[in-house]
């Protein structure tokens, strides 16, 4: 009696990497998952996601204030990033189901390119505090999709539902380093000349968004190969 288990003993779902299907993941199995190249690549991509997201959560109000906004308006304008991000997660979920047929890596890659476009718009179209805030809304809309998918659908698909929590923990653990690093790095960049610091920060975040997108490319190829192997009855590598 009771609720139906989320993971059945007859689990036959697709896995992109070889992983234990035991009810409890042993520590040795956890370590093998932690050093798998695909998991490390996901963790590195998630590091970039968290670096970018927390950089804006931490610094965007201050950057807008440096553009001439009072503190209250800067705080209001900066909320657009997170509000647009929530919309992005909803749209990402719809697109994942309807258009991308569950291919989370392909959707993340598309949204990665959208994130790059958002940062370019900040640099070249952000001529006023309002347009800067609107451009960061585009960044938030595109960035929150990979934020959601890398630690949820991606974690489950690459190693199965039994290992999904373990993978999510590893990916989130690696990603959580990003917020720590961005505080120190951006803090150093904006010391002294604020305008130059903002310009250098924009270049840094643009570069980080490019790195994030590049890391998603091998994930997409590996996922597609695993799907083909699964369709042909071959075991994951």
**Residue 3 pLDDT greater than 80, yes or no:** no
Separation of alpha carbons 216 and 157, rounded Å: 15
Mean pLDDT of the chain: 86
Who wins on pLDDT, 34 or 60? 60
**Residue 207 pLDDT greater than 70, yes or no:** yes
Confidence of residue 5 (pLDDT cuts 50, 70, 90): very low
Helix (H), strand (E) at residue 7: none
Give which of 153, 138, 161, 140 is closest to 107, Cα–Cα: 153
Domain boundaries, the chain: 26-223
Separation of alpha carbons 181 and 199, rounded Å: 18
DSSP 23: S
- Assigned token pair, 93: 């979920």
- Assigned token pair, 25: 């993941």
DSSP 24: S
Segment 60-98, tens digit of pLDDT: 999 999 888 888 999 999 999 999 999 999 999 999 999
pTM: 0.87
Confidence of residue 103 (pLDDT cuts 50, 70, 90): very high
Q: Where are the alpha helices (DSSP H) in the chain?
A: 27-34, 37-66, 71-98, 104-125, 129-150, 153-159, 161-175, 177-189, 194-231
Angle at 172 between CA 169 and CA 177, to 5 degrees: 130
Length of the chain, please?
A: 237
Give which of 219, 216, 220, 222 is closest to 49, Cα–Cα: 216
- Going by C-beta distance under 8 Å and a sequence separation of 6 or more, which residues neighbour residue 220? 103, 105, 106, 109
Helix (H), strand (E) at residue 175: helix 161-175
Confidence of residue 101 (pLDDT cuts 50, 70, 90): confident
Segment 142-170, tens digit of pLDDT: 999 999 999 888 877 776 677 777 888 88
- Provide DSSP, 116-164: HHHHHHHHHH--SHHHHHHHHHHHHHHHHHHHHHHTTHHHHHHH-HHHH
Check if the beta carbon of residue 39 is closer than 8 Å to that of residue 223: no
Mean pLDDT (whole number) for 48-64: 95
- Assigned token pair, 112: 């990665």
Segment 12-31, tens digit of pLDDT: 455 555 555 555 666 677 78
Gap between the terminal Cα atoms of the chain: 37
Alpha-carbon distances of 193 from 11, 184, 199, rounded to whole Å: 58, 17, 10
26-223 CATH pick, 3.90.1300.10, 1.20.1250.20, 1.10.3720.10, 3.30.70.250: 1.20.1250.20
């Amino acid at each position: 009696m009771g609720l139906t288990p989320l993971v059945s003993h007859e689990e036959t779902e697709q896995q992109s990497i070889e992983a234990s299907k035991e009810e409890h993941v042993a520590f040795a199995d956890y370590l093998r998952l932690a050093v798998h190249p695909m998991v490390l690549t996901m963790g590195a991509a998630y590091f970039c996601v968290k670096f970018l997201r927390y950089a804006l959560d931490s610094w965007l109000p201050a950057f807008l204030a440096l553009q001439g906004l009072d503190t209250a308006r800067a705080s209001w304008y900066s909320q657009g990033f997170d509000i647009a991000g929530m919309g992005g997660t909803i749209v990402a979920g719809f697109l994942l189901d309807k258009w991308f047929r569950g291919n989370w890596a392909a959707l993340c890659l598309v949204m990665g390119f959208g994130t790059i476009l958002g940062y370019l718009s900040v640099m070249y179209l952000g001529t006023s505090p309002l347009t800067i805030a609107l451009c960061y809304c585009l960044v938030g809309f595109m960035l929150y999709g990979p934020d959601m998918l890398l630690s949820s659908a991606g974690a489950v698909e690459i190693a199965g539902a039994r290992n999904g929590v373990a993978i999510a923990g590893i990916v989130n653990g690696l990603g959580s380093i990003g917020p720590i690093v961005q505080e120190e790095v951006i803090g150093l960049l904006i010391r002294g000349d604020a305008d130059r610091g903002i310009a250098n920060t924009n270049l840094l975040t643009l570069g980080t968004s490019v790195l994030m997108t590049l890391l998603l490319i091998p994930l997409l190829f590996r996922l597609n190969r695993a799907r083909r192997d699964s369709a042909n009855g071959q075991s994951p590598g």
